[in-house]
Structures are given as C-alpha cells and as structure tokens.
A and B are shown apart, each in its own frame.
Chain A
Amino acid sequence: MKQTFELTVNGERRQVDAEDQSTLLHVLREGLGLKGSRFGCGVGQCGACVVLLDGRPAPSCDVPMWSAVGRDVTTVEGLADGDVLHPVQQAVLDEQAAQCGYCVSGILVSAAALLAENPHPDESTVAAALDRHLCRCGAQRRIVRAVVRAGARGAGRR
C-alpha cells in the first residue's frame, strides 16, 4: 500500500508516494530522480548509496521509508552550494581521486560528514572514517589525500 511520506531532501521539503518498506535509495533515485546515490549491494555493505540522515552517514539502500519520515536527507547532489563545489568535491577533482567514479558519491557524503565534525583529519582518521566504503578501482589513497587536502583548506568551516 502506497502512502505519502514527507521528508527534507537537500534542504527542500518533499512529499513522495512510497510503501512503508520502500528503501530511501529507491525513493531518491526513482521517486525524486536523484540518481547520484548508487545501488551497489542493497544490504548496506559497500557504501555506494550513503547519504546523510540528520547529518550522519547512512546507507540509503538499508533505510526503509517508515524510518526516514520527517528526517533531513543530504545526497551527493546537495553537497555543492549552487555552482560552487563542496571543498571535498573540488579536492577530489584536484587530486583526480577517482577512476570509474561509481563509489565516489557515497564517499563524498561520508567525507563531508567527517569534515563537519573534524575539520582537519589526518590520513589515518580519513581512512578509518571511510572504511565502510568499498572502491574496486583502487583510488583509495588519492581519495584520502583529497579529503585531507579539503580539510587543510578549511572545508569544515562550511
């Protein structure tokens, strides 16, 4: 049975029709057309679908709609401020810290959350914070460098 859910996505109040058990990822991608959160495994093991739920990273493939009601969701599409990239997005470009880029949406979201909490993380802190994210192309070191670089530029002050 579909019902209407209300939640905030990237700062906007949105109403969506979905089932209780529909996943947040499904609603974001199919209901709201926000394709930036990726499906990787469907059971919260790879991190490709991670979004911020009230500021904390969560795998959206593993979040049923009933538990997302009324909450504040930030996806990779919501990281930039208009045309100005989030510092961690800019740093990933500067470091060319991706190959295929499929895993990078979820990683950027987790990295933004880390930087909000810890504006100047070192490499091992970044690696630990991103440990739930898988990357098959082997871009991890570049990504870690990019997040550290974003911190050094003051990303956490946003």
Chain B
Amino acid sequence: MSTGSPDPAPTAGPALPRGLVANPRLSRWVSVGRDGTVTVRVGKVELGQGILTALAQIAADELDVDLPAIRMQAASTAEGPDEGLTAGSLSVADSGAAVRQVCAEVRALFVAEAARTLAADPADVTVSGGVASTPGGSRRVSYAELADRIDLEREVDGSVRAKAIPESRLVGTSVPRLDLPDKITGRPRFIQDLTLPGQLSGRVVRPPSPAATLTGVDTAVVDALPGVVSVLRDGDFLGVVAQDEETAERAAAVLAGTARWHEEPTLPDEDDLPRFLRDGPAESFVVAEPDPSGVPDRAVRRIRASYSRPFLAHASMAPSCGAARWDGEGVSVWSHSQGIHALQRAIALALGSDIDQVGVRHVESAGSYGHNGADDAAFDAVLLARTVPGRPVHVRWSRRDELTWAPFGSAMVADVEAGVDATGAVLTWSYDVWSQGHTARPGYAGSPGLLGAAHQDRSRPVPPPADPPVLAGGGITRNASPIYTFPHRRIQGHRLLRTPVRSSSLRSLGAFTNVFAVESFMDELALAAGQDPVAYRLAQLADPRAREVLSTAAELGRWDRRGTEESVGYGIGFARYKDRGAYCAVVAEVEAVHEVRVRRLALVVDVGRVVNPDGVRNQIEGGAVQATSWTLKERVRFDRWRITSADWESYPILRFSEVPQVDVHLIARPDEPSVGAGEAAQGPTAAAIANAVADALSVRVRDLPITTDRIVAALNG
C-alpha cells in the first residue's frame, strides 16, 4: 500500500467488492485528464444491454462530474481490470459496487488536494461538475487543474464511504444510452466494421457436421486463386486469407468444394429429446433433500408431470467476428467475447504460449445472450493471422456457421411430482432435471474450449459442458427449487456426460426451463385443487417482496378479466432469478383461435435499487420478447448427421407483427442492493404463456415450443 493513504479498511466498513479485491489499484480503473475528462475502465463489456451507460452514471455521481466528462473505455486485458465474465446478471451488482468505491476514493483524493490548494478544510470543500469550491464558491479549483498532482498509483482501501442514495443525481434516472447516437446514424462501431491498417480478410471452412472428419482437401487450387494470400489446413481446421472479404468468401467456397469429409450419425432423435436426455450417461447431483426430522408426509394425493425444451440457438443478428495480428511471438486479438481475460488465457493454452504474449481487447458486436461464437471467431483469426505475420486478419462467420456451430442452449427435460394435502397445498415436492451442462466457456474443464483448437486436433474434442457451481446459482438446477413454502423438497440434477450437440451458456441457463416447469406445474396443482392460480401461489408464499410482485402483476395484467372472453386466456408466471436476484412476475394474455397469439405481457419487477429505470425496463421487455420467441417458435433442427436449422427460414424467431404489447412496472426498493435485470423475465414469461394457453384452451402443452402442432397433439392426446 502506498504511504500517505488513509488507514485501511475501517472496522465498520463492508467488505470490498470482489472486483476490487482482484484489481485493487485505482489507476487500473480510473484516470483523470488535464482536460477534466475522466476515463473509466471496467472489465464488463457492452452487449447492447446498456451496462456502460449505467456504470458511467454511477461514476459521474460518485465523482461529482457531469456525464459528458466520463469516457467509458472498452475492456482490454492490457489496461483494464479483470472482472471475469459479463454474464449472470451480475454486472450492475459487482462492477457497479467496484466503480462506486473506486470513484469515491478518487474523489476523496481530489478533495484533499483541492483543500490544500484552496487552504480550506476538506470537510468544507464541495464538488460540482468536476470543480471543487469553498463555501460560497469564493475559491475554486477544477479536477483538470489538479489532475497532474494526484497519484492514482495506489490501492483502494475502503477508507472512504460511497455516497448515500439521496445524494445521487444520475443514479435512479433514465439517462439515455451513450452508444445509441453512433448506432442510429450508422457510424462504424461494431467489430464487423473494424478496419485495421493493412487488414486482410479471413474465412473458415467448417466441417459439414459436428462429428465430421477431414479425409482430403486440395489447398493448392485455392492458393492459386487471384487475391488469395494464404490457405491453411491445420488438422481439420481449414481456412483462407485474402485481400478482401469477397475474395475470401469465394475462395472459402472453392476450398469447401474440394474438401472431403467422413461423417457419422452421432446426433440424437430430434423428435425424442427427453429420451436422449434421460438415457444418459449422466452425473447426478442433489440440490435439496428432505429433512428427515421435518413434518411427516401426509399427502392425500400425488400429481406428476414432465416438461421439456429443445436446443435453442443464440441466433444473434450479427455473425460472430474476430480479428488478430501476430507481431513476433505475440498476438493482439480483437473480440466481442463476454470474457476477454478468460479468452486470453484459453488462447495462450491452445497455442502453448505465455499469457503475456496474448492481448485481447473488446469491440462491440450485436446483442450477445451468452456464450456464442465470439471466442471461437477470435481464435479462428489467431490461427489464420499466424500465416501472415504482421498483418491483421479479420474473420467473420457466415449465418450458417453462426446458427450451426455457435454453442446452443441445452435441451432439457424435468420430471416433477408433488404430494398435496386435502386443501391442495404442497407437502412434498420432488424434481429431477436432465440436461447437458450449461457452461463450456473458454478454459473450462482444463480445455481451451475453442472450436478451432478442437478442429486442429480431433483427438482433443471439446469436453462435455460443465455446470456452474450450485452455490453460484447453478446451471441445470438454476431456479429448480421453488420459492414457495413447501415443507419437503427433493431436487436433483443430472448432467449428461455424452454430448453430441455442442452447448454452453444461453441467457438464464437452466432457469428458463425450470421456471417454466415449476410454474406450469403450480397451475396444474391449482387446477387440481380448484383454486385460482394467483391465490394458490400466494397461500404458499412468505417472502413479502415476492408477494408484492405477484399481486401487483395480477393487477397490471388484468387478472380479474380471466375467464370473461372466449378463446382468450390469462396465465401467470413468477420467480426470483437465481433465488437471490431480481423478482419478476408476468401475466400473459393470449388469444388462441387458429394459432396462439400473445396479445400482451404485463411484467412487474423488483431489482432492488434501480440505476437506470428505462434501462431496466428495456432489459425486461427485451427478455420477455425473446422468451416469447423461445416459447412459441424456436427449436434447433437436426437429422442424425447434421444441424439443419442453418438460416432464418429454418430457425424462425418472433417477427414484428407477432410481438406482444409489453408493459413493465418497477417496484421501487431504493434501500435494497441492485441486482441485474437481463435474465429475470425469461422463465416467468414462458410459464405465463403456457398457463394462458392452458386457460384459453383447457389443454396443457408441456413440451416447448408451444406450436399449433403441439396444441393439436395435446388436444387429441
């Protein structure tokens, strides 16, 4: 610790945010320029969720500068703090707390220096718009003037308390997104737009199916094409580098035409995924077990059901992209990865090189909803750029590769059984859920986890996906244990060890399926008990914040109109994400005549202290619309050899004319810690729609997506 800094961690102070424990140096996070601009470096990345705007609000408030003075710098392994992944709805909670503390300490240093300069007591110095002044404003000095005198090469020590909530100017207000002006005028901003000096264009030729192996290829014919700079065959990894995109694309097509592959029918039966999932082999793990000394099981009736979802694609609007340039032994990488530090380590692992020889910086792409092809595309660029030292190579995937090679969200199936008492209330709850693991991010299971590396050496395929620890919210069993006051519960997860379809993290991981299953089943239990679904839930719900969210949603969603209109149904779904994140309840209003049409979604959300209300609404609204698409339309298609949903016709998503009206209400909890909003709405939305369909048609669809065919099958079943 630098000398002269205040005493470390006051005894009453809270523990430092974890990002600060790992990255304690103030200069890693913040620098103040002679022009008064404040550069803020964070480890979290912009995915279209508005995180950089929210963090800028926090920084500006804490430093008492105006928002335009803040420059949010893109994450970089060379300069910024390592804050792990931008995932799990943790950015506002974790990074927000770190930025708040860093900026509070930076402000204190400036105030102390201002006090010396102005010959005032630090307690009398106030700051506004980056200018410190004495009472009455008679003497003033700006951050810009003080910048050269402040040494930020010191560690954060927790000695300064961040501001109390009422003092915040920007936090809690709907500051417009800082990145949108560029995006609506078409200025280059995305990684796909990157134009580095001397840049070449690269394309990869992927195998036609997950298990295909290369038996032959003619690289010479491609090498001879005009404009082609290099052709690479490294094991089963095939690619070209050319002068421009068009040439690279044509050359890749020629290369693909000369490649011969041996294919194997390794994929499961897409029409019987529950059987594939249950057949294993799997590793089973218990999340909750009944307490043998608890209330005896006096169930008078047992009810059971099974629910499933298929594999889902990220289906980002932009194909994955990456760029790389080798200089001597080192490689610089540009990527839209959600975890640039993990990617840096994984690339070093795959290359067998030193981590210091790999630098990764983040560049924005289209919306990212988990572990998509970003990291793989970055490594593609690394491999192709190695063939042209000193020249940057920019690689963009095709739509086909994006929809067939980026990891999917795993198919899942859940069996649930409840024992109920004479009133219909739950006494025992038993839940088993089968799935592939929900994380295969770079570096997992001791593997680089990068597609290119697995194709270079087919004897080292990507390992079966792992699962996040249950204590961190889990993956397969995320939200598998209901929030309700059931006396006995037994919850078990089963992670598949043979995974022919590549899968990894997709927004909300297992919570989407688990909440869909739990909340669908709650409606089935309410029906069996002859009770109203909202009243049935409230009778078994103790958490006051949960009760308020649920009750308010029933009002906002016009629950009292349920059962008043022919072919129109109302359904509710509710959960607290990861059991400690955002509370979200949804009422869906659907019309089911020739097909199911979701007319309206009413969502009520409690995310604790809200940093940017419109940002939260946008995330909730977007999450609900995406979940509507998953629920009604989406399913990765395949035969026994190949993934066949390779374009937007075969992998349809919700269109403008199908998007419901979405109303979002936020419950103000300024005294509660902020939690993320990006993954709260998905599970409750699916359940609300399924329950509304059941209400409208008196038929239950338990396998997603809820298509007309599935409804007809259920009606006939």
Contact = CB atoms under 8 A, between A and B. Distances in A.
A108 interface: yes
A99 B624 CA distance: 14
Nearest to B648: A45
B647 interface: yes
A98 B184 contact: yes
Interface string B368-407: 1100000000000000000000000000101100000000
B316 interface: yes
B625 A131 contact: no
Contacts of A42: 398-399
A41 B399 contact: yes
A77 interface: yes
B622 A127 contact: no
Interface stretch (B4-12, B562-570, B653-661): B653-661
A46 B656 contact: no
A45 B649 contact: yes
A57 to B, nearest CB: 14
A144 B659 CA distance: 10
A130 B656 CA distance: 6
Contact of B318 (A40, A104, A138): A40
B330 to A, nearest CB: 28
Interface string B654-672: 1111010110000000000
B318 A38 contact: yes
Contact of B396 (A39, A48, A99, A133): A39
A140 B317 contact: no
Contacts of A130: 656
Nearest to B662: A141
A103 to B, nearest CB: 5
Interface string B179-202: 111011111101011010000000
> How many A residues are at the interface, by size bracket?
35 or more
A110 B185 CA distance: 14
The residue in B246, B398, B619 that gathers the most chain A C-beta atoms within 10 A of its C-beta is: B246
Contacts of B626: 136-138
Nearest to A37: B186
Interface string B623-644: 1111001000000000000000
Given A41-B648, A96-B177, A138-B623, A108 B656 contact: no
Contacts of A19: 246
Contacts of A126: 656
B246 A99 contact: no
B50 A99 contact: yes
B271 to A, nearest CB: 26
Given A41-B647, A45-B649, A96 B317 contact: no
A148 interface: no
A101 interface: yes
A141 B658 CA distance: 10
Contacts of A35: 186-188, 190, 192-193
**Chief secondary structure at chain A's binding surface:** loop
B17 interface: no
A20 to B, nearest CB: 12
**Chief secondary structure at chain B's binding surface:** loop
B96 to A, nearest CB: 19
A39 B697 CA distance: 42
A79 B183 CA distance: 13
B176 A76 contact: no
A104 B319 CA distance: 16
Interface residues of B, number: 58
Contact of B245 (A30, A100, A102, A140): A30
B399 A133 contact: no
Interface in A32-56: 33-43, 45-46, 48
A100 B47 contact: yes
A89 B629 CA distance: 27
Contacts, number: 168
A99 B48 contact: yes
Contact of B317 (A30, A34, A37, A40): A40
B133 interface: no
Contacts of A139: 618, 621-622, 625
A45 B647 contact: yes
A140 B658 CA distance: 10
A120 to B, nearest CB: 18
Contacts of A71: none
A134 B652 CA distance: 10
A96 to B, nearest CB: 6
A152 interface: no
Contacts of A98: 48, 177, 180, 183-184
Contact of A136 (B244, B315, B319): B315
A26 B315 CA distance: 22
Given A136-B315, A138-B623, A43 B180 contact: no
A103 B174 CA distance: 23
Contacts of B185: 36, 76-77, 79-80, 85, 89
Nearest to B398: A42
A136 B653 contact: yes
Contact of B618 (A46, A85, A136, A142): A142
B219 interface: no
A120 B186 CA distance: 25
A69 interface: no
Interface string B405-420: 0000000000000000
A128 B184 contact: no
A92 interface: yes
Contacts of A140: 625, 654, 656, 659
B661 A46 contact: no
Contacts of A8: none
B648 A26 contact: no
Contacts of A96: 174, 176-177, 180, 614, 618
B184 A142 contact: no
A10 to B, nearest CB: 10
A139 to B, nearest CB: 6
Contact of B192 (A22, A38, A103, A144): A38
Interface string B144-169: 00000000000000000000000000
B245 A77 contact: no
A105 interface: yes
Given A39-B192, A139-B622, A102 B186 contact: no
A73 B367 CA distance: 28
A120 B589 CA distance: 28
B14 to A, nearest CB: 32
Contacts of B428: none
A136 B316 contact: yes
Contacts of B186: 34-37, 75-77, 105
B337 interface: no
In the complex, the 7 A-B pairs of residues with the closest C-beta atoms, listed nearest first? A36-B186, A100-B48, A138-B625, A101-B183, A138-B622, A102-B366, A100-B367
18 contacts: A30-B246, A41-B399, A43-B647, A45-B647, A48-B317, A79-B185, A98-B180, A100-B47, A102-B48, A102-B366, A104-B183, A131-B655, A136-B366, A136-B367, A138-B629, A139-B625, A140-B654, A140-B659
Given A48-B318, A93-B176, 15 more contacts: A26-B246, A36-B186, A77-B185, A99-B48, A99-B50, A100-B183, A100-B317, A100-B365, A100-B366, A128-B656, A134-B317, A136-B315, A137-B48, A142-B618, A144-B656
Interface of A: 19, 22, 26, 29-30, 33-43, 45-46, 48, 75-77, 79-80, 85, 89, 92-93, 96, 98-105, 108, 124, 126-128, 130-131, 133-144
